[in-house]
Amino acid sequence: MNIEKSIEHLVEFMFKNMPPNMGTALGIEYISITKDEVVATMPVNENTIQPFGLLHGGASVALGETICSIGSWVNCADDNKTAVGIEINANHIRGVRNGLVKGVAKPVQRGRSIHVWEYSILNEDEKLVCAGRCTLSIVNRR
């Protein structure tokens, strides 16, 4: 995984101390995490398809919010802060029946209390599957 040096300790701590969660249940694997982009993959399998055999829109949204949240979190100026999603939208462009999808998230705005990120989900041919935007609130960590 490609991790920016300045955030490497944060990411390592997160992965070592994170309990199982939706991302791990869906098989999300991180390819690259920087302050300007997060890239991850997710399998299209029995855990992520809908009853008709296509990638479930909810799984696409879960991947989108996950990568946007990680990107926003690594941009928090204070270690006592974290990012939580407060709004997300998605446009589902094409179906996927198997293989891997890749999610790419990039920031639009990184303010003190609100971040906005855009994400794209691509199939193995790099064709757009889903496009969305996620708004995150920067809050005190409990």
CA distance 59 to 40: 13
In DSSP notation, 60-107 reads: HHHHHHHHHHHHHHHT-SSTTEEEEEEEEEEEE-----SEEEEEEEEE
Q: Which residue among the candidates 29, 37, 65, 126 is catalytic per the annotation?
A: 65
Reply yes or no on whether 124 is catalytic.
Answer: no
User: How many angstroms from the chain centroid is the CA of residue 26?
Assistant: 12
Catalytic residue numbers read 65
